[in-house]
Structure 1
Amino acid sequence: MCLYSYDDVRDREIVGLIAACLAYGRVAQILNSVYQVLAVMGESPRAYITDTSEKVIVAHFQGFVHRFAKGPQLSALLVGVKQVIDDYGSLNACFLDGVSGGDETVAPALTAFSRKIIAASMDGCDPGHLMPCPEKGSACKRLNLYLRWMVRHDEVDPGGWLGISPDRLIVPLDVHMFRISRHLGLTRRNQASLRTAIEITDGFRKWSPSDPVRYDFALTRFGIRKELSGITALMMALDG
């Protein structure tokens, strides 16, 4: 994972958001697009974001294409990130600004975080589908994956963010997790919505109250690696 290449969490949080926002399509295509962006940013994505003008960012990525995302959407995302870092000092601090002690999950804070970046993006252009928002009912798989990377810290997730408890995370719900969760009886819902993601997370919380999202990586191997049965994947997750 490219996040492990960045020891400074101020770089890692930017790289993680870019990688998460581009995390749709084939893995090889995703990695190629992420590394294209990182090559332009150089050794310190944080320095690039803070020191590069909006005009230059737009020029650097005008030819960028990742499936149906184009340069203007990526530039809008990066400009939004630039502005919230100017305002809050870091993406971590921006996210924490939306956290309330009474929230059962990160969903309200994630909504506020998404709104801030979208509002701070370029005039006349926004990140579009690159920056989803939970308030619309989307499972927001990519942003919840980002939070998993930044909040948890183990052999899979590098972590680095402070002030957010892993027990508030929501499982990144994609087609693989949706399928295995229905197979395991964690949900009977027919749509992979935010409500479904929270219901599945509640099921995981019965097994691991302090870290329900810990099962995500192992269980999604079931969808990707066809030789694994549902029970095998579950046992791998529980042993992890």
Structure 2
Amino acid sequence: MSLPDLKRKKLLARLYRRYNRRSYVSPDPLECLYRFDEVKDRELAALIAACLAYGRVAQIVKSVSAVLNVMGPSPHDFICSGTPARFEKEFAGFRHRFADEVHLGALLAGMRQVLLAYGSLNACFVEGLRKKDPTVIPALSAFVDRLNADAGGIGHLLADPRKGSACKRLNLFLRWMVRKDSVDPGGWAGIPRAKLVVPLDTHMHAIGLALGLTRRQQADCVTAVEMTQGFACFSPRDPVKYDFALTRFGIRQEMKVDDLIRMADCA
């Protein structure tokens, strides 16, 4: 391992130890998941939170909280006992950026169909995961297909990796549900952490460029995989472990991406 790699490894380890803590979660839609002890409820809350995770983080948390408050203490019971018509009625007037009650109702209807067919989102996802797949990307495509199968109208709330998207929100959802540590609550089984892909957006892309994990200028699926492979050099069994600590820079007001880039330059 070259000296620069040793420096990057030490920097990542230091950031993980310092910032991978519950005290650094807020503001983040992840905080909405902590209220659910049952995995059957948490996985549904997590998918809703991830699908709405675009725009200003304060508004994301507000929108996710509003949806979960309507659903009550058990999102699982709410969704399983509902119908597409009831979902749209319950969330009449809902709006989050480009999403309205039609998009949200379609998402909940798709989740309901998956629950009826597979028993859980976890079981549905695992069915699409093959041992030979190096990452979760093919399984993500199958998962999106099953959610969309009987619920047209979900639209932009579910990205499709086959179109080249980095699928930041879906990879964020998987990080929350597959990993378990001080911040990620976990709960899912049957998915190796080594297959996860870093949730890539413009901020994480800038961090990847600064750390030398990619030279690609597009924040797309290819870049997400390339950066994940870079992180795997330092944590092969859990390459996404650094995501939370790194993304505090740019989310929390007192932590700027430029500060992290300067830290990388000085490492």
TM tier, smaller: over 0.9
Q: How does 1:176-215 map to 2 (within 5 A)?
A: 176-215=203-242
- The normalised TM-score by structure 2 is 0.84
Distance 1:87 1:109 in 2: 17
Distance 1:152 1:8 in 2: 16
Distance 1:61 1:233 in 2: 45
Deviation of 1:232 (Å): 3.7
Q: CA RMSD in A?
A: 1.7
**In 2 relative to 1, CA 45–4 (structure 1 residues): closer, same or farther, beyond 3 Å?**
same
Match of 1:137 in 2: 164
**In 2 relative to 1, CA 61–200 (structure 1 residues): closer, same or farther, beyond 3 Å?**
same
Alignment partner of 1:146 is 2:173: yes
Distance 1:204 1:10 in 2: 30
Q: How does 1:60-209 map to 2 (within 5 A)?
A: 60-121=90-151, 125-209=152-236
Which consecutive unaligned segments of at least 5 residues does structure 1 have? 236-240
Match of 1:238 in 2: none
Which stretches of structure 1, 4 residues or more, deviate above 6 A after TM superposition? Answer: none
Which consecutive unaligned segments of at least 5 residues does structure 2 have? 1-30
**In 2 relative to 1, CA 157–114 (structure 1 residues): closer, same or farther, beyond 3 Å?**
same
Q: Give the residue type in structure 2 aligned to 1:119.
A: A
Match of 1:49 in 2: 79
Q: 2:260 aligns with which of 229, 232, 238?
A: 229
Query: What SS is found at the alignment partner of 2:37?
Result: coil
Distance 2:146 2:160 in 1: 11
Q: 1:62-99, CA deviations, whole angstroms, 9 ceiling, x for partnerless residues?
A: 21100111110110000000001000000000101100
Which of 1 and 2 has higher RCO (CA within 8 Å, sep 6+)?
A: 2
Distance 1:87 1:234 in 2: 51
Query: What SS is found at the alignment partner of 1:229?
Result: helix
Match of 2:10 in 1: none
Deviation of 1:57 (Å): 1.1
Match of 2:25 in 1: none
